[in-house]
Each structure stands twice: as structure tokens, then as C-alpha cells.
A and B are shown apart, each in its own frame.
Chain A
Amino acid sequence: MPQRPVPTHTKVDRNSNRPPEAELPADGLWKTFGASVLVLLTGLVLLFQATERGSAFTTEVLRRATVDRRAQPIPNLSLRDDQGNQTTLHDLLSTDSRISIVDFVYLRCRTVCTSLGSSYQRLQQQIVERGLQSRVQLLSVSFDPANDDITALRDYAQRMRLDPAAWRVVTLASADDRQLLLDAFGIVVIPAPLGEFEHNAALHIVNSKSMLVRIIDVDDAARALEFAVAAAGP
């Protein structure tokens, strides 16, 4: 039978930082229990607050939930339309009692803006067919004034067959206002390969007091129109 080796040195506690259990304060468990409960409760409350009561985990859902809860004011910015006329955002939104469905595009876009354009074409068709031009308008705002000049706006209007009574396309008069515009609507624009941009897209419903009252998904254009019609009143 093999002999068990005799220990040749005193055992050293490798985890010397850890005090022996007997030396820990007697009230340690209660303090730890209290601190743990406090940490968990505080954390859960903060998470609940940060996620709009647990309903929003992405920025996109959060901005929609925030607008659902409280309408957001829209700043007044200088714009230019496809005829070269200078105007302001408030003028376009508040001249009459129409409800506006606003989207944000850059006119070279071949991805999400194309999908937005198709949605707007269908919306324009419904607005004209139902004679809603006096109650609802569509407004496309370019956030790329450096590239989207009057010629580009005109080309876009022709390509998409815009009916000016129902749908208008404008660009920022000054590139300096770009961030103000994007921040007000919660749009994040990031550079993508091949000189393109990636940005979050949605249909923004703005009332005649220039207040953003609802943000609806691009794929749900029919609901956006019904919401706008209902908000416009009889």
C-alpha cells in the first residue's frame, strides 16, 4: 500500500484576501441582505423608468412611446421647396388645419427611402381618391441639403408623380439646422458605404399646432392615414 506523503510545509491560504468566516462581523448577513434588496429594487426601478415602464428596449420604440404619451413640439426651421420658394416648417404645418404625415429622406437613397416613397405614393392615391386633400397632407423633408438642391427636388417630384395638393417635398435651407431637425423627430442618420446614409424611418403625424402627436411604422401606412383623418376631424 502506498504511503501517504507527509506534509512538508505549512498550508498557505491562496485566497489570503478573504477573511476567515469567524472573523466577519456578526451583522454582516443582515447588512448584505439589506444592501442586496436595495440594489435590486433601485435597479429595477431605474430599468423600469429607462424603458418607458418596461415597454421599450430600443431607441426607436422608446421615441414612439414617448410621443404617444406626450406630444412633442417641432422647431421652426427654414426650408426650400421644389419651386425654389423659401418657407418655414411651421408655415407648412400650421397654415391651415390639415394634419401632416411627415417623413425624412435623402433623395439619392435606394433603400429605406424608396420604400417610404412607395408608401407615400399609395397614401397620395388614397388621399386624392377620398378627397382628403383639405384634411391631410404628406410632407417629405430632405435632411441632405448639400446634395438635394432644387433640381434634385424637382426630379424627385416628377419621378414620384407628386400631386402638390396632397404631397410636397422640401429640403433644409441651411445645413446648420440639420441636427436640430433630426433631434426634434428622433432621427439618427449614420454614414453607410458608397456615400449612402442609414437612418430610422417612420411616418410622423404632426398636427396644425406643429406638435408631433404620433409615430407610426412605415409598413402601417393605412393606420397612419386613418389616425391623421381622425385627428383632422370632420
Chain B
Amino acid sequence: MSARRFHRQQLCIALAVSMVACALSVRPWRGLIEHSMVWHMAVQMPMLVAGGWLWIGAAISGPDSRRLDAWNRYGLTGFFASQVVFAYWMLPLAIDRAVVMPTADAVKVAILLACGAMLKHSFDRSPPVMQLFFVGYAVSTLVAAGVFLATTESRLCNAYLMDSQVAAGWSVAVLGVAIGVAWGLGALQGVRVTTRRRQGFPDP
């Protein structure tokens, strides 16, 4: 497959993920996130971040992004910003606002797309040990928040039924574990490639 065709395919995937995620905030598909916390927290929100990562991240991570690099050495600024963004959008009151206030939902869409882009920029510039710190923090937060949502007896979001909250809690916890496993496999692959290069073997 030529590089150009591969690039075009990547753009198509990025566009599809971003558009599906954005469409979930527009009627008639908006009903899905209004009625199901799983669709909101475990499908739309991760898709927005993934869309930002794939779509905008590819644009700002290119070799011409030196000016941005100076503000994001080792990916530090992007990691801190994404942590603040995740901290807010994990709050039950933020989830409620996005459901009942279309303006808040539009802000959510824009911020999570931007967050995905920032994360892509940061991951491209950070050493594995720094990635481990931030991914570890994100995974532990997602798992802890997910288990809490699933096991608490209180209905934390006024906009969702208790059953929906429990399902969303487990989904978020599984998402956290999946992110940890995906990063771990990626890091392992990186270690293998580096080791092979040090030993003088060609890249597979």
C-alpha cells in the first residue's frame, strides 16, 4: 500500500470517528446519549478524544509544529491540560449539564476533540516513563470512578436512571483497563524494536 493511500485511509477513519462522535450530540442520534449513560460516557466521550487524536493530532503533530513543541516539551503541557479536562468531564454534574444544556454539550464536544489532539501531540514527544506516569494515573482514575459509579447506591446523575449509571460505571472501568493494556502492548513493542536496533538488527 502506498504511503499516500495509507494517509488517505487514516484521514477517512479520523473523519468517520469524529463525525459519528459529533453526530451523537445532534438529533435524532442525541437521544442515545440522553437516555443512556453508557453511550455518553463510554462511547461518545472516548470517540471524541479518539477523533481529536486521529484527525487534529495528525495535523498538529507534523514536522512543521516546532512553534508548538516549545510549549509542550516532553508532552508535559498537553498531559496536564488533558488531566484537567478529564477531571471535569468525569464529574456527574458535568455529565448532567451536557445532557440538559445543548451549549454545555457543544463545549464538551470541542474540548474533548482538542484534548485528543493535545494527547497525540504529547505522546509523540514524551519518553515512555512520563507516558507511564500519566497513563497510569488515567487508568487508575477511570477504574476507580467506574467502580464507584457501578457500586454506589446513590443516583449521582439526575439525568440518568440508576441501571444506566451502573452499566456506565462498569463500561468506564473496562475502558480504563483496555487503555492500560493497549498502552502496555505499545510500550512493549517499542522496547522490542529499540532492543533489536541496539543489537543491530533491521526493523521488521
Contact = CB atoms under 8 A, between A and B. Distances in A.
A12 B203 contact: yes
Q: Is the interface of B mostly helix, strand, loop or mixed?
A: helix
Contact of A198 (B87, B92, B161): B161
Given A19-B63, A28-B70, A188-B158, A36 B80 contact: yes
Contacts, number: 119
Contacts of A28: 69-71, 73
B158 A39 contact: no
Given A15-B124, A18-B124, A47-B88, A190 B161 contact: yes
Nearest to A62: B93
A175 interface: no
B103 to A, nearest CB: 14
B156 A58 contact: yes
A36 B61 CA distance: 19
A17 B94 CA distance: 35
B93 A58 contact: yes
Interface in A1-60: 4-9, 11-12, 14-19, 24-25, 27-29, 31-33, 35-36, 39-40, 42-44, 46-47, 50-51, 56-60
Interface in B59-91: 61-63, 66, 69-74, 76-77, 80-81, 83-85, 87-88, 91
22 contacts: A9-B202, A14-B203, A16-B63, A27-B70, A28-B70, A31-B70, A31-B73, A36-B76, A36-B77, A43-B84, A43-B85, A46-B84, A50-B91, A50-B93, A56-B93, A57-B91, A58-B96, A58-B156, A59-B97, A190-B161, A192-B161, A200-B155
List the 5 closest A-B pairs by CB distance, nearest first: A43-B84, A188-B158, A32-B73, A28-B70, A59-B96
Interface of B: 61-63, 66, 69-74, 76-77, 80-81, 83-85, 87-88, 91-94, 96-97, 100, 124-125, 154-162, 193, 197, 199-203
Interface of A: 4-9, 11-12, 14-19, 24-25, 27-29, 31-33, 35-36, 39-40, 42-44, 46-47, 50-51, 56-62, 188, 190, 192, 198-200
